[in-house]
Amino acid sequence: MYGADGNTPELRPFEFKGMMRFWWRAIRAEDNIEKLRKEEAEMFGGTGEGEGKSKVQMILKEQIGNDGVFKYQPLPHHSKNNCKFCESRCRKSFVLSAIKPDTSFRIEFTFPEELKNILESLIFITFTLGGFGKRSRRGFGSIEYDGMQEVVKRDELLNGILTSLNQINPKYELKYGKIKIKTTIISNYPFIREILLGKDFSSFDEILKVIGEASHKWCDPSLGNASPRMASPVYVSVLRADKFYRPIITILNSAFPSVYPRWDYEKQKKFIKELL
């Protein structure tokens, strides 16, 4: 997550709020897009007629200094400037400035009391299913907030996610070890279809490497890898569970344009299987 110069790591309240809006839309899974847009504007503000400012305010209580920044390879599956799957087609190995793991910060939210339950649920979902900054759909930018370790056991976590989802939209159920949407939605935008928990890994480097290898091994338009490049409908966040790291895999509705290259959902399933 970078500041105005595009190179210096910086925590940006605008991005946190933008992700809250993204997950709000994804959870709502609404067929009526105009209704969805109006509901979003009522909560988060909008520029349309009669739409005012956001009911949700955020204040970043402190910024990350230079001692909270390090250099990191955003494609950790690379070795000696080559990816073993893509070989010469892959970009050369490089490093970027990033915020160090285990860096702490504080955000203060203010909102009307009548929105308390919904917004607390939305904050939980945003910080659990989503990441922030570059490669956030591949495990980077995952954030753990105080108290999270109390709900990281597998069953408790899925039930906690389900409760929060249904606080916002009672269309989800926990069945056969995964969360699924119960109703048929015809809208062509990325709403939540399924949520699964992956296997445990010993370190964040290990899990990011496996995610990266799987991304290249099963490279396909079904994962957003095409021209025009699309955001992947498979969102992988990472949660720390005691001494282990566990991927949380959210499968969104694939809202590809009609001119998008032919895709293979079997490759998408194989990518997900590598994390399960």
* Residue 149 domain flag: yes
Instruction: Kindly report whether the peptide bond that precedes residue 9 is cis, defined as omega within 30 degrees of 0.
Output: no
Q: In the predicted model, is pLDDT for residue 155 greater than 50?
A: yes
Residue-level pLDDT at 67: 83
* Residue 1 domain flag: no
Residue-level pLDDT at 95: 83
Report the distance separating Cα 185 and Cα 201, nearest Å. Answer: 34
* Residue 38 domain flag: yes
Residue-level pLDDT at 77: 65
For the residues 99-113, what does the mean pLDDT come to?
90
| Mean pLDDT, all residues of the chain | 86
* Residue 7 domain flag: no
Tens of pLDDT along 187-246?
889 999 999 999 999 998 899 999 999 998 999 999 998 888 889 999 999 988 778 889
Residue-level pLDDT at 84: 47
* Residue 8 domain flag: no
* Residue 49 domain flag: yes
Tokens of 243: 């001494």
Neighbours of 124 (CB within 10 A): 21
Structural domain boundaries enclosing 195? 13-275
pTM of the model: 0.89
* Residue 2 domain flag: no
Block residue for tokens 């290249």: 216
Please state, for a pLDDT cut of 70, what percent of the chain lies above it.
Answer: 90
* Residue 6 domain flag: no
Number of compact structural domains in the chain: 1
Residue-level pLDDT at 85: 44
In contact, 16 and 132? CB cutoff 8 Å? yes
